Each structure stands twice: as C-alpha cells, then as structure tokens.
C-alpha cells in the first residue's frame, strides 16, 4: 500500500493515471490528451516505471507518446531506453538470465502484465444522483417536478429488474442493464457495516442505464429500514461501491484509489483503509491511494507515505518516506504536534536542527520541550507516568545517561531480568506507579516492570556524545579535548564572540545564542549530526 499526499496542484491525480497506464494494454493517453485549450505539442512526452523480474533484477520501462500517421492521437507505447533520461541501456540478450527473457524484446523491456482497478470517488455517483442533480436524460432543462415524475416512472422498472435479477431489460428499445443485480456477500455486508458504524442485514447492487447514462443503484436493508441510494447518504453509497469493487479485484491486481475519503467521516475513513489493507494481504493486491485526509494514512508506516509538491513550476517527490504528521504539515493541516522531551535548551536546539535537516515539515510537526529537573528526575518521575498511560511521546536524554550496553527488545528480556534491566536505567520498583488499594501482588509488580521497560525501549533515545556541549563541538569540527569542561569551553567561545574580558559575566542566553549560531552551520553529512538525524527519523 502506498499513499500519495500533497497540496492541490501537485498532480496527484495525474500520477495515479500514469500508474494506471503502466501495465500492458493500458494507455494513459485516454486521460492525458491534447486539446485546443491545453496543447501538449510535439515534445516527447513519456513516463518511466520499473518492476521486479524473476531473477531479482529490475525491468525499466518507458512509455512514450507516439505522433505518427496511422496512430490515433495521444497514443503511448513502450520504446527503447532513453539514455538522456538516465535510463540504463538494455543488457545484451546473451547476458540476460533465462527466466527474464520472456519479459523483453531485442530493444526494450515489456510492460508488466497486471489487472488495474481505478476508482475516483469524486465521480462515483449513484444513478439517482447523476440524473437528479445533472439531468442527463433528454434534452434541455427539466423542472424539479419533471425530474421527480421521471424518477417515479423509471423506479418501477429499476425495482423490477433488481428483484428479478434478469440479465437484460428492454426499455424504450434499449437494454438498460449493464450488470445484473446481485447481493453482496455476508462478509462484504459486514465490511460495509464496520466502515460506516451501523448494522446492515443485506445490500443489493445493480449497474444500469435507466436514466440514460451508466450508473449504479444500491438497495440497503437494516433491521428497521430498506432504502435505495436516493435515501442513503453519498458516504453510504461510496462505501458500498468500494467494498464491491475491491472485493471483485483479481488476485495481484493494481488498485488505484483517488481520494477515497470523499463523503466519509474520519472514523469511516480509517475503517475503509483497514478493509482495503485486509484485502491487499488476502489477494496480494498493490494499492495506491491519493489523499488529503490524515485519517486515511494515520495507520500506514512511513515507508508507505510519499509527499509530492510543486517546486519551481515542477512536481517533485519531496519525501520518499514520511510520518503522517510530517506529510500533513506539507498541506497545512493543523494536527496535534508530536511531543518530544529533552534535558536542556541546547539539547532542544540540537534535536530541532536534526529534525530540520531531515525535512522542514518534520521540524514543524514536533513540539520539543525541556522537561524540568534533569535526567534523574525525567527518568524516575516523568517516564513512569508517561509509560503508565502509554503516551505517544519521545524522550531524548543526553549521551551520558545511555546504558553501557544497548537496550534489549522487551520480548527478549525474561521476567527475572526485568528488574536488573530497569536498574541499568536508574529505575527501581519504588519509582514505578502502583495501582491503588492496599496490596500489590507479585504479578502486578511484574506487569508494571514490563510495561515501563517496553515503553522505554520504544520511546526513550539518547543523543550521541557525552553531553550536548561536547556533541556540538564534534558537529562543528572542533572537538573538546578530553578532561576539558565542555560548558566552560563554550563559555569561553561566547565571551570571545562578545568581546568580553576573562571573568566578565556572560548570560546563559548569550551562550545558547552562540551555540545556536554554530549549530546552524552544521550540515547533515557530519557523522554526529547524521546520528542525531537518524535518531529522530527512526522514531517519526
């Protein structure tokens, strides 16, 4: 599953159409075509994609717009690798592994063979909505009374066709049924119920042309009601359509969903994506989604979220893997920032700089606070409270607080070793929050240790270096000599910057300002900063 996130104008729908056009027998020219209003011209329009070959190598395929007599306009077909686009030349036939030969010709790789299911939820309107709101049947404008009259007349025939499940239905000299009516399976009805948060007993759907254009009618039955899409909300209809389409997708198909959040509330959006994820696992689907919704990507891993944006008149992939918070900073979504606690202001400045070097959007998505009391107070008082409520918070402590050996995964620590592992972090049983009441059984104490230790493994990190001051010296290429007081060294630097004499008082704010100016010049390529960036990136 892959989600494409970006602001309006970042060509998300065009990207989806290009993805739809990648497999063999699909032509993106059906959706990208030249008109007098939008002239493409004669430049070599093309797009490049890769897929995995049986040998483990990659086939790099280019589809180019062909302008030649005998071809319809805006036709795209595969061509030889275009070296000026950075593509690799075709390997020699004799150098190609035997299992890869069916996927190539003498001059090019073939397009991948894959079924494609494309759903644009902005266009998935019911037959009733298409007619009632757009009046496509007949000529000229129709009054509201005329529309209602026509709907009443034809609803009788729609109802008869749905009830009888006939494969064809002649009306005014034309067969009006596109696909005969059928009931969604028990599993599909249950999926729609989960998505929408209400119980349905049965759902029947039919595609038809009774209103002069192709559309679908759905009949939904709950415990106390039975109604069609004319009465149902657009979100109900969208959920029925998605479940119906995705469940019918062939195994290993490519499923492309354009803004599936349309008409669905946030809870329904999350359940919809969970349903799609389950289908992807069961049927080995590849799913690509474009979205503006935080709820759609809330449960996806960073590697599944791609951020696109327009920069300098061109669309760029801004980030190849992104947290949900970072992605929606890009489009101006004011979500709750991720909280980070550090020991002191310099540690906060280092974490802020590391986050900014990863991406500006990540830096904006973090709320970095100095926790009062120092490392001992944070570990013995703050961490147990955060762990008890499983807070989604990152605690970053200075390097001198790191245990001598790396923390083990909670699952690899036995019950008998938990107390010792917590002790390496300065935590004793007396620091852990107890349940109320008079007693505290051994099982409760063990569960409490396990909970706190697991939370620390997931949510506590340590800066490289022995202290923020010595770490900054390494980042600036001016390491502080062993045995020298790192704080005193930075005091000396700040005093020199301010032109003060030895012994003159330098406010802490001025020392921090000096440190921040040096920090602003540190690049992500320096080893200590790269380590700090990895610490932040791995968590967010």
Residues 6+ apart with CB under 8 A from 464: 399, 471, 528, 531, 532
Measuring CA to CA, which residue among 28, 1, 12, 16 is closest to residue 111?
A: 28
Measuring CA to CA, which residue among 213, 222, 161 is closest to residue 189?
A: 222
Note the pLDDT tens digit of each residue in 276-300.
999 999 999 999 999 988 888 888 9
Is pLDDT above 90 for 442? no
Give residue 319's pLDDT. 82
**Cβ proximity of 483 and 452 under 8 Å:** no
**pLDDT band, very low/low/confident/very high, at 9 (cuts 50, 70, 90):** confident
Q: How far is CA 300 from CA 54, 293, 464, in A?
A: 28, 12, 29
Quick one: tokens of 499?
Answer: 């032109």
Which residue intervals of 165-221 are DSSP H helices? 186-196
Give residue 228's pLDDT. 86
Name which residue leads in pLDDT, 41 or 253.
253
Note the pLDDT tens digit of each residue in 382-394.
999 999 888 889 9
Name which residue leads in pLDDT, 368 or 234.
368
Give residue 436's pLDDT. 60
Buried b (16+ CB within 10 A) or exposed e, 406-430: ebeebeebeeeebeebbeebebeee
Measuring CA to CA, which residue among 530, 517, 374, 398 is closest to residue 469?
A: 398
Is pLDDT above 70 for 141? no
Residue 181 has phi, psi (to 5 degrees) of -70, 150
Mean pLDDT across 231-242: 84
Is pLDDT above 60 for 137? no
Element (H, E) at 386: helix 383-388
* 307/292 Cα distance (integer angstroms): 11
The model's pTM is 0.69
**Cβ proximity of 440 and 434 under 8 Å:** yes
Mean pLDDT across 432-459: 82
Q: How far is CA 427 from CA 45, 220, 384, 460, in A?
A: 63, 58, 9, 13
Considering the domain 1-8+115-121+250-334 in this protein, what is its CATH number?
3.40.50.300
Note the pLDDT tens digit of each residue in 395-426.
999 999 999 888 889 999 999 999 999 999 99
* 81/426 Cα distance (integer angstroms): 60
Of the CA atoms within 13 Å of residue 359, those in its CB half-sphere come to: 19
Q: Where exactly are the structural domains of the chain?
A: 1-8+115-121+250-334, 24-113, 127-229, 336-540
Note the pLDDT tens digit of each residue in 348-367.
999 999 999 988 878 888 89
Mean pLDDT across 487-512: 91
* 355/534 Cα distance (integer angstroms): 9
Mean pLDDT across 104-119: 93
**Cβ proximity of 66 and 24 under 8 Å:** no
* 185/258 Cα distance (integer angstroms): 25
Quick one: tokens of 150?
Answer: 């026509």
Is pLDDT above 80 for 87? yes
Which DSSP symbol is given to 379?
A: I
Quick one: tokens of 322?
Answer: 């992104």
């Amino acid at each position: 599953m892959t989600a494409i996130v970006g602001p309006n104008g970042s060509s998300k729908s065009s990207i989806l159409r290009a993805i739809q056009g990648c497999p063999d027998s699909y032509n993106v020219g059906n959706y990208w075509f030249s008109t007098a209003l939008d002239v493409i011209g004669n430049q070599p329009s093309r797009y490049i994609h890769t897929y995995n070959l049986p040998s483990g190598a990659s086939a790099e395929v280019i589809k180019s717009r062909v302008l030649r007599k005998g071809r319809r306009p805006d036709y795209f077909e595969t061509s030889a690798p275009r070296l000026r686009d950075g593509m690799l030349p075709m390997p020699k036939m004799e150098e190609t592994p035997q299992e890869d030969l069916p996927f190539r010709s003498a001059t090019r790789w073939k397009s991948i063979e894959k079924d494609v299911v494309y759903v644009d939820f902005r266009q998935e309107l019911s037959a009733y909505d298409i007619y009632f709101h757009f009046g496509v049947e007949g000529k000229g404008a129709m009054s509201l009374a005329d529309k209602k009259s026509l709907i009443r007349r034809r609803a009788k025939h729609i109802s008869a066709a749905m009830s009888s499940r006939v494969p064809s239905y002649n009306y005014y000299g034309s067969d009006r049924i596109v696909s005969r009516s059928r009931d969604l399976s028990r599993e599909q009805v249950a999926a729609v119920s989960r998505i929408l948060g209400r119980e349905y007993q049965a759902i029947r759907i039919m595609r038809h042309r009774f209103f002069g254009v192709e559309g679908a009618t759905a009949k939904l039955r709950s415990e106390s009601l039975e109604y069609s899409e004319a009465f149902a909300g657009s979100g109900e209809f969208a959920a029925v359509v998605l479940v119906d389409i995705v469940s019918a997708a062939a195994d290993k198909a490519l499923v492309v969903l354009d803004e599936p959040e349309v008409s669905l509330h946030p809870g329904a959006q999350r359940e919809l994506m969970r349903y799609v994820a389950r289908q992807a696992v069961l049927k080995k689907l590849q799913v690509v989604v474009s979205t503006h919704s935080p709820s759609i990507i809330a449960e996806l891993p960073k590697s599944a979220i791609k951020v696109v944006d327009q920069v300098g008149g061109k669309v760029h992939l801004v980030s190849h893997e992104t947290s949900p918070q970072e992605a929606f900073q890009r489009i101006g979504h004011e979500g709750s920032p991720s909280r980070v606690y550090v020991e002191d202001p310099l540690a906060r400045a280092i974490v802020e700089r590391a986050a900014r070097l990863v991406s500006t959007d990540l830096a904006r998505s973090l709320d970095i606070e100095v926790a009062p009391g120092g490392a001992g107070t944070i570990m013995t008082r703050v961490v147990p409270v955060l762990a008890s409520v499983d807070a989604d918070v990152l605690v970053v402590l200075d390097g001198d607080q790191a245990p001598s050996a790396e923390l083990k995964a909670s699952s690899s620590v036995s019950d008998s070793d938990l107390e010792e592992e917590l002790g390496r972090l300065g935590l004793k049983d007396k620091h852990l929050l107890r349940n109320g009441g008079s007693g505290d059984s051994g099982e409760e104490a063990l569960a409490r240790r396990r909970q706190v230790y697991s939370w620390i493994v997931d949510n506590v990190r340590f800066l490289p270096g022995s202290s923020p001051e010595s770490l900054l010296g390494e980042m600036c290429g001016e390491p502080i000599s062993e045995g020298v007081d790192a704080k005193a060294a930075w005091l000396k630097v700040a005093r020199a910057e301010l032109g003060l004499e030895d012994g003159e008082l330098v406010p802490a704010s001025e020392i921090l300002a000096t440190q921040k100016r040096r920090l602003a010049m540190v690049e992500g390529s320096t080893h200590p900063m790269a380590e700090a960036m990895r610490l932040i990136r791995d968590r967010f």
